[in-house]
Amino acid sequence: MANYSTNEFKSGLKVMLEGDPCSILENEYVKPGKGQAFSRVKLRNLNTGRVWERTFKSGESLEGADVMEYDMEYLYTDGEFWHFMLTDGSFEQHAADEKALGDTVKWLKEQEIYTVTLFNGAPISVAPPNFIVLEVTETDPGLKGDTAQGGSKPAILTTGAMVRVPLFVNIGDNLKVDTRSGDYVSRA
Amino acid sequence: MSHQESLWQPSASIENLRLRAETLKQVRDFFTECGVLEVQTPMLGRAGSTDVYLNSMQSYCAGGGVSEPLNLYLQTSPEFHMKRLLAAGSGAIWQLATSFRNGEYSERHNPEFAMLEWYQPNYDLNDLMAEVQSLVEEVLGVNTFSCISYRALFNQNLNIDPFSAPLVELQRLATKNTGICGETLDRDGCCDLLMSACLEPLLGQNELSFVTNYPASQAALAKLKQDEAGDWVAARFECYYQGIELANGYHELTDAKEQAKRFAEDNQQRRSLDLPEVTADQHLVAALESGMPECAGVALGFDRLLMLKAEAKHLSEVISFAIDRA
């Protein structure tokens, strides 16, 4: 695998640290007064999910992790595993456990395409698309004519996710949601 | 609106830009009252800073009326040109200089930034610290200050003497506090790291905090002197407020030979670290040879001062267009 220097560190980069594959969450450049620069890095250990904080000298490097990301379609869950299928026409399937799925479980929708990360051939994480359209199953009744800004209310979506929505939204509406922030974007 | 679409907009609010203009007026009035002359010096120079931990950006001037193509450095601070003015008899001078440091980008850095720099002939460090204090009081309203030596700062908070502790102990402490692989660091590296990770955040919580007597190896362009323990230290201070490094002052080196030696040592260290050498400023050496008055000088990050005044989290909030949208 390639080596990555601190100035190539960015959120999402996969590197090996102490034998575990890690994903860089944050890379903060620090430089005291006249002295040398350092990178203060937050990494998520992809095996344990734990967040590590480490400091590196500017210019130091880490080995890239042999972690591959694939587009996969979500098929179904058997209660223990969530099954995904590669979209490259191979019909190859992979089963992700609860740990690999993490918070993505609240954005899971059949036939939607997810980014599944494989380490040693097994899913270790599943990332949702940035935007997803989901139906509202529960919310207070909509206020007619209130299409301008001002005021919001909670709404529960088919996946169980809760988002703040404008007052005019009704049960049965399809909403476009930003999965990174969990924010309502628009009616779909 | 997506992030890409909103990038045409300024990174600072119009309100903060107004604050910036007001603060600049305050600063200008402050120096006018003190009788300090405002100057403007080039942002581009044939020579750059040789400092091992500063990376210069470069530019190129050729064609038209320029018969010999010029490689030019965007200045990392206006220091060299201002010292040449001092040697030419300018007396006390100040300027707000756009300065450039390659790669320096974080919550507290922008590669292009505004440096408030001034020089006072016949001042010593105490005179200059008092002046920094008055200026900051004027702008931020802080009216208390403290002063601690580099050694005492380490002793009181980390229970270690940065001058006399064995290197392995400093390395162990750096590893313990930051998760770095400490044995790859030299003494200055350990101290730099402990300073930024453990000590800076503590400084200037309620008052303007000055740190003095840095190790001689961190002298940059300051004179050396012996401290009460007999160690050689740099006649230099740094000033912090709310954990943010705000200013860096020197009792300025006036010895031309020593200056030339430090340039050469920097470039030698650059070679050993595989860093590009930087053309040293022979005009500065010549200016010192001709005689620069004894003086103290300080560089204060104007954007950081504004960041503190505006209670902003990110430097970009007080810069019209930070580098990501410049």
What span, in angstroms and rounded, lies between the C-alpha atoms of B148 and B157? 12
Q: What is the pLDDT of residue B300?
A: 98
Q: What is the pLDDT of residue B72?
A: 97
Q: What is the pLDDT of residue A145?
A: 60
Cβ pair B39, B95 in contact under 8 A:
yes
Top pLDDT among A111 and B1 is at: A111
DSSP output for A81-110: -EEEEETTTT--EEEE-HHHHGGGGGG--T
DSSP output for B131-189: HHHHHHHHHH----EEEEEHHHHHHHHHS--TTTS-HHHHHHHHHHHH---GGG--HHH
pLDDT along chain B (326 residues), means of 10: 78 98 98 98 97 95 92 97 98 98 94 98 97 97 96 97 96 91 88 93 96 93 93 96 96 96 96 94 98 97 98 97 96
What span, in angstroms and rounded, lies between the C-alpha atoms of B170 and B187? 7
Verify whether the Cβ–Cβ distance A55 to B178 is below 8 Å.
yes
Closest CA–CA distance from residue B66 to any residue of chain A (Å): 36
What span, in angstroms and rounded, lies between the C-alpha atoms of B285 and B58? 22
Question: What is the CATH class of B3-142+256-325?
Answer: alpha beta
When pLDDT is cut at 50, 70 and 90, the band that residue A99 belongs to is confident
Residue type present at position B73: Y
Instruction: Indicate whether this complex's ipTM tops 0.95.
Output: no
Q: At residue B174, what are phi and psi to the nearest 5 degrees?
A: -65, -45
Residues 6+ apart with CB under 8 A from B161: B151, B154, B155
State the sign of the Cα–Cα–Cα–Cα dihedral A176, A180, A182, A184. negative
Q: What is the pLDDT of residue A146?
A: 55
* Tokens representing residue B35 in the block: 């009788």
Verify whether the Cβ–Cβ distance A32 to B200 is below 8 Å.
yes
Q: Which helix H or strand E contains A37, and what residues bound it?
A: none
Q: What is the pLDDT of residue A34?
A: 75
For A133-152, what is each residue's pLDDT tens digit? 999 999 988 766 655 556 88
Cβ pair A188, A176 in contact under 8 A:
yes
DSSP output for B269-284: HHHHTTPPP----HHH
List all residues of chain A from 21 to 40 with a beta carbon under 8 Å from chain B: 28-38, 40
Write the residue in A7, A55, A60 that is nearest to B179 by C-beta: A55
When pLDDT is cut at 50, 70 and 90, the band that residue A95 belongs to is very high
Closest CA–CA distance from residue B3 to any residue of chain A (Å): 13
Q: What is the pTM of this model?
A: 0.79
Most distant CA pair in chain A, distance:
62
Place of tokens 């990376």: B55
Q: Listing from the earlier edge strand, what are the strands of the sheet with B66-74?
A: B44-45, B66-74, B58-63
When pLDDT is cut at 50, 70 and 90, the band that residue A48 belongs to is confident
Report chain B residues touching chain A, CB-CB < 8 A. 51-53, 103-107, 109, 178-180, 184-185, 188-189, 191-193, 195-197, 200, 218, 220, 238, 245, 248
